[in-house]
Amino acid sequence: MRVADLLTEHSLQLRLETPSGPKRLSQEIVRCAPTEHLDPTPFLDANVLLLTSGIGMNFTEQSIWDGYVERLTRVPVAALAFAVGTAHATLPKGLVTACTSHDLPLLEVPTTVPLLKIDQHVENMLRAEHIARLDLGWSLADECARLASQGAEVSTLLAAVYGVVKSPIAVYDAFGSLIAQYPEAVTWRTGSAHSTQPDVLTVPLPMGLSNPCQLAVRLYGPSSEYEALLAPVTSILALQLNRSVAVDASSHQDMLRFVNRCVAWSESTRSDVANAFHELGLSRRAETTLLVADMSGDHAAAAWKLRVALHDTFHDVRVAELDDQLIALAQFPRDGFDETVDRILAIRPELPLVLRGPTHTIDELRIALVHALDLIHHVTRPVLAPVLGLSAVVAAAAGRGARESAERFLAPLVEHDEQRTTELLPTLRTWLRNDAQPSRTCDELFIHRNSLSYRLRRIQELLGISLDTLDGRATCLMALRLVELEPY
């Protein structure tokens, strides 16, 4: 209810005695405050309608009236309704002058209208508006529930909320990371600064968590109005967010079993991996997209946004968290793969994330997973993994006797280093890591180029292989990777 609404209510017979403009008269009234105190400000809330008969205000000094009105504007009050006939036959001129000077709407209440009638009218109007907002809030919740039942994304629900509240709206996770917002063009603070944004109402979502997500809305009016509108729909948003968590939780153990069987090349057969995949409830005929993300430290703040994005982008998603890593399998993208890649990789530019897909067979998925688990340790931003990686090939070969062969292949270097305190094996490892570049290798080992040449010749003699050929270098690289391979 606004101050202007009082002037249009003919039963109250109120008359505006100050040249207040439309903006000032559009001020919302939160309640009435009947009082005869000369300084009622300690007992007033902002934007109340002050009702008084001026009892005890038997003064004529303009400075006293100015001080009285100035204190009211500091609260500030929405307007001052002054009843004539009880203590004052007419409005005091000093009061009119002071209200005009401080731009406080002054309403004259005639003798025929008791202040109690104004109080009751305002309370009835505020109660009716509150009920109307509740009804609108429940209608909004019903519409969002309908959208959610059809599989709508969180951003779609926020768009529906925005259509009612007419204010930018967003959802944060417990770490202050922005999960979704509408409209997209609006800028929101993130991290710990999100809770200190001016003119923003933050409402915890009822998710049953100690640190739930939060709904944030820009305030263009009293916060109580937004709270009444948003209260019912927060439950729908919470259920929609919890939907992904519930799905993830139900498949968590199955995902861990699948991952463990994939990386255990020597213990798990192809049939074991296929059975574990079948237990996930995913289709063996559909293409599967793989995602591995680093959730350690500050990266954990992106977990909610990543989960929501996956469920919004794919129809079937399985997620598990293992050793500070989020591992996800996803099938049936809602859009094309290029659009899916763009959306996933743009979630957080500084998040170490590996996206690989789509894979077509269980064997390809297994190799892709091993490669992604290795690659995640070497990236500092979201990347699209190549179709094949050396780490995956090495892991696959390790389970088929290659690791034992690699140990026997490198054994002459190990024995030579132990018996003669040389460093042939570290030299070979450093040389290959530096792409067989002599200058870079010498700089790292702090040796002369002639010393490097001697060591490489001795390595060739002991291994019986030529390091001048690509085949020889690849054999040594594979052998080193195999003996250095650690189970996940």
Return the pLDDT at 340.
78
Q: Does the residue 276 lie in any domain?
A: yes
Q: Does the residue 119 lie in any domain?
A: no
Q: Same domain for 277 and 197? A: no
Q: Same domain for 352 and 368? A: yes
CATH number assigned to the domain comprising residue 291 = 3.30.70.2730
Among residues 243, 265, 298, which one ends one of the domains? 243
- Cβ 118 vs Cβ 87: under 8 Å: no
Distance, in Å, from the CA atom of 252 to the CA atom of 388, rounded to the nearest integer, reads 27
Return the pLDDT at 485.
63
Q: Same domain for 415 and 384? A: no
Distance of CA 40 to the CA centre of its chain: 45
Q: Does the residue 118 lie in any domain?
A: no
- Cβ 321 vs Cβ 254: under 8 Å: no
Return the pLDDT at 190.
74
Among residues 87, 113, 139, which one ends one of the domains? 113
Q: Same domain for 184 and 255? A: no
421: part of which helix (H) or strand (E)? none
428 burial type by CB count under 10 A (0-12 exposed, 13-18 middle, 19+ buried)? buried
Q: Same domain for 93 and 12? A: yes
Full domain range(s) for residue 145: 127-243
Distance, in Å, from the CA atom of 324 to the CA atom of 294, rounded to the nearest integer, reads 6
Number of domains composing the chain: 4
- Cβ 178 vs Cβ 189: under 8 Å: no
Q: Same domain for 270 and 371? A: yes
- Cβ 321 vs Cβ 381: under 8 Å: no
Among residues 81, 113, 145, which one ends one of the domains? 113
Return the pLDDT at 60.
86
Q: For residue range 58-78, what is the model confidence (pLDDT) as tens digits?
A: 888 999 999 999 999 999 999
CATH number assigned to the domain comprising residue 223 = 3.30.450.40
7 burial type by CB count under 10 A (0-12 exposed, 13-18 middle, 19+ buried)? middle
CB-based contacts of 39: which residues, under 8 Å, 6+ apart?
68, 71
Return the pLDDT at 488.
40
Distance, in Å, from the CA atom of 397 to the CA atom of 217, rounded to the nearest integer, reads 55
Q: Where are the alpha helices (DSSP H) in 399-448?
A: 403-420, 424-433, 438-445
CATH number assigned to the domain comprising residue 97 = 3.40.1390.20
Return the pLDDT at 78.
94
Distance, in Å, from the CA atom of 190 to the CA atom of 61, rounded to the nearest integer, reads 53
- Cβ 167 vs Cβ 226: under 8 Å: yes
Q: Same domain for 77 and 50? A: yes
Return the pLDDT at 244.
61
Q: Does the residue 430 lie in any domain?
A: yes
Return the pLDDT at 302.
74
Q: Does the residue 239 lie in any domain?
A: yes
Q: For residue range 403-418, what is the model confidence (pLDDT) as tens digits?
A: 788 888 999 999 999 9
Q: Same domain for 383 and 255? A: yes
Q: Same domain for 139 and 258? A: no
Q: Where are the alpha helices (DSSP H) in 212-332?
A: 223-250, 252-263, 270-279, 303-313
**Sequential DSSP letters for 191-216:** GGGGGG-TTEEEEE---S-SS--EEE
Q: Same domain for 262 and 379? A: yes
Q: Does the residue 144 lie in any domain?
A: yes
Handedness of CA 180, 181, 184, 186 (dihedral sign): negative
94: part of which helix (H) or strand (E)? helix 93-101
- Cβ 168 vs Cβ 219: under 8 Å: no
Distance, in Å, from the CA atom of 148 to the CA atom of 259, rounded to the nearest integer, reads 31
Low-confidence ranges of the chain (pLDDT < 50): 487-488
Q: Same domain for 377 and 422? A: no
Q: Does the residue 122 lie in any domain?
A: no
CATH number assigned to the domain comprising residue 418 = 1.10.10.2840
For tokens 């939060």, the residue is 214
Structure tokens, 61: 């000094």
Q: Same domain for 102 and 19? A: yes
Q: Does the residue 121 lie in any domain?
A: no
